[in-house]
Structure 1
């Protein structure tokens, strides 16, 4: 069964954190784990985690990550929380099943907005 936005909305807070395997200072929540499992989107967690090495991104204490999908292409944008874009990239191919998703990054944790 495909993942829906309603599936993600069920997550509020988290009781369990998952440590990123490569970026050990980055963790993510149960909702993000669910998204990665159901949408085949571990690549998205990897992207957000590894881009924390970029100085312009790392200096932002609060980050809003937006993935917008059109057909088989997508755009990944990181904003600073005040709608200022600090990073943007085009993804030439994706099979991500939702038309968009938003993740927040704060205090070393990737989360769904409903989990904050």
Structure 2
């Protein structure tokens, strides 16, 4: 589904705030915005929301980090998912062996428990 439709910068730029907050089903203190829902639906990337939300519970390096920058770098059918603190201090890096997320990938913020597009910050 992802590569057929793709995600354009102009589509993502339309999200400058959110009208709705969506609660993650497994990590109940994590929410996400309209823009992130659009990305998940358009690119078939609910797994990306899951990766970010579940890492909040599983990764000690993320505890207490109120601002996180999540970058998905897609190259062909694989990807690299990185998280840093916004000041280039890497907190996590994970290899994704297979994805159909559109190239070149995407950047998301996690701020005080809310996953959002940079334009929604």
Shorter chain as denominator, the TM-score bin is over 0.9
Name the Cα RMSD after superposition.
Answer: 0.9
Matched residues, number: 116
In the aligned structure 2, how far is the partner of 1:58 from the partner of 1:110? Answer: 15
2:86 aligns with 81
**Residue 5 (structure 1) shift:** 2.3
1:3, CA displacement in angstroms? 2.4
Aligned to 1:93: 98
Equivalent pair of 1:4/1:98 in contact (CA under 8 Å): no
Match of 2:114 in 1: 109
Distance 2:97 2:23 in 1: 28
Please list every run of at least 4 consecutive aligned residues from structure 1 whose deviation after the TM superposition is greater than 3 angstroms.
Answer: none
Which runs of 5 or more residues in structure 1 are unaligned? none
Unpaired runs of at least 5, structure 2: none
**Normalising by the residue count of structure 2, what TM-score does the alignment of the two structures yield?**
0.92
